[in-house]
Amino acid sequence: MDSSRMRWGTVGPVLLIVGLLFLFLSKAGEPQTQYAPLGAYFDYAEASVPVNAVTPLPPAEFQAIQRANADRSTAQIDLVLEAELYRDDLGPLGAELQAALDYVQERTGIRLADRIKLIISQDAGCGFHGLTYSDVRVIYIYSCAGVPRQRVVNIAAHEFVHQLEQDRYGPPHLSADLVLSEGFATWGAGKYWLGGNPDFATFARQYRDTGAALPLGTHYASVGAGGMNVLYYEWAAFVDYLLATYGRERFDALYLTGGGQQPGAAQYATIYSRPFSQLEAEWQGWLGQ
């Protein structure tokens, strides 16, 4: 009898059990996927709407959504209508959404890594808003009867940029500094959020001159819908300043430093050799130019 076989017959099962136990323990320690709602609630400065609390969907429901047949597909979007909203406008809506996605990809310099599913759902309270589950490539837009189709496209432009952020920065996007994640998504939406104004600095100056401005480090949860609207536009103007002054490479490096979804919590001093407060003061001077 082969002695090596005999030894394996005795020791093999023990090693197998130990190996399975090690695998189980290593998996148990891994961080679980977080379906973080990173959403925009407005399509232009004067169009504030109520913010509804939305419970993130469990993975099983995401899988069901991803298996669903799209009502309309474009080059990069599978569009699903969960209600009768916009069904008569399905063709034009699909084309306009793809045009918005093309625009934000060009503006941000980021290409979509894979197709996305965009779901338009009815909100009983008419709390028009969007949510991007970027790690599973699903975007929800909650709307209701009477909301113009163009507003859906406008808010989708912002949500598309959140998906592009995920594709460029990976998992760190889900814990990014809100000034950067929401600011870049608003800035990236460009003309869809500018309402005919030349840039986001125009809004920031207007807020400053009318006394409506908020410190950049303010969390939107503390200021209501109107204050959140102000912050999104201020953050977009601040992102514009960082990109114009220090360039894209350093902005990308800053984004990857995280921030726990807290405004102003990324490692600004490490990347720019000056703290967030100093950069905010310099941005204020830039606005005055």
**Same domain assignment for residues 196 and 99:** no
Query: What angle is formed at CA 53 by the lines to CA 51 and CA 55, rounded to 5 degrees?
Result: 145
**Same domain assignment for residues 142 and 162:** yes
**Same domain assignment for residues 38 and 164:** yes
Q: 3-state DSSP call for residue 78?
A: strand
> Is residue 8 one of the residues assigned to a domain?
no
pLDDT of the residue at 69: 55
The residue among 121, 144, 169 that closes a domain is 169
**Same domain assignment for residues 81 and 164:** yes
**Same domain assignment for residues 229 and 150:** no
The residue among 169, 191, 215 that closes a domain is 169
Q: Which of 200, 193, 270, 278 has its CA nearest to residue 239?
A: 200
Helix-helix angle 200-210:276-287, to 10 degrees: 90
Q: What single-letter DSSP state applies at residue 69?
A: P
> Is residue 16 one of the residues assigned to a domain?
no
pLDDT of the residue at 61: 58
> Is residue 145 one of the residues assigned to a domain?
yes
Q: Which residues pair with 142 in a beta bridge?
A: 121, 129
Which two structure tokens, joined as six digits, stand for 140? 């929800």
| 116-122 sheet: strands from edge to edge | 72-73, 77-81, 116-122, 138-143, 129-133
pLDDT of the residue at 248: 98
b/e map 112-142, b = 16+ CB within 10 Å? beeebbbbbbebeeebbbbbbbbbbbbbbbb
pLDDT in tens, the chain (289 residues): 323 333 434 444 443 444 444 433 443 343 322 222 223 333 332 232 323 333 455 555 555 555 455 778 889 999 999 888 899 999 999 999 999 999 999 999 999 999 999 999 988 778 888 999 999 999 999 998 889 999 999 999 999 999 999 999 999 999 999 999 999 999 999 999 999 999 999 999 999 999 999 999 999 999 988 999 999 999 999 999 999 999 999 999 999 999 999 999 999 999 999 999 999 999 999 998 6
> Is residue 209 one of the residues assigned to a domain?
yes
pLDDT of the residue at 122: 87
The residue among 151, 169, 187 that closes a domain is 169
**Same domain assignment for residues 189 and 165:** no
**Same domain assignment for residues 216 and 253:** yes
**Same domain assignment for residues 122 and 81:** yes
> Is residue 22 one of the residues assigned to a domain?
no
How many residues can be counted in the chain?
A: 289
Q: Domain count of the chain?
A: 2
> Is residue 66 one of the residues assigned to a domain?
yes
**Same domain assignment for residues 48 and 160:** yes
Alpha-carbon separation of residue 235 from 86, 96, 138, 183, 228 (angstroms): 32, 26, 24, 4, 10
Domain, as residue range, for 280: 176-289
pLDDT of the residue at 126: 81
**Same domain assignment for residues 111 and 183:** no
pLDDT of the residue at 32: 29
Which two structure tokens, joined as six digits, stand for 27? 């998996």
**Same domain assignment for residues 163 and 214:** no
Tell me, yes or no, if the pTM score tops 0.85. Answer: no
Q: Which of 99, 79, 98, 100 has its CA nearest to residue 90?
A: 79
| CATH code where residue 153 lies | 3.30.2010.30
> Is residue 259 one of the residues assigned to a domain?
yes
Q: Which of 83, 86, 91, 113 has its CA nearest to residue 101?
A: 113
**Same domain assignment for residues 151 and 267:** no
pLDDT of the residue at 68: 54
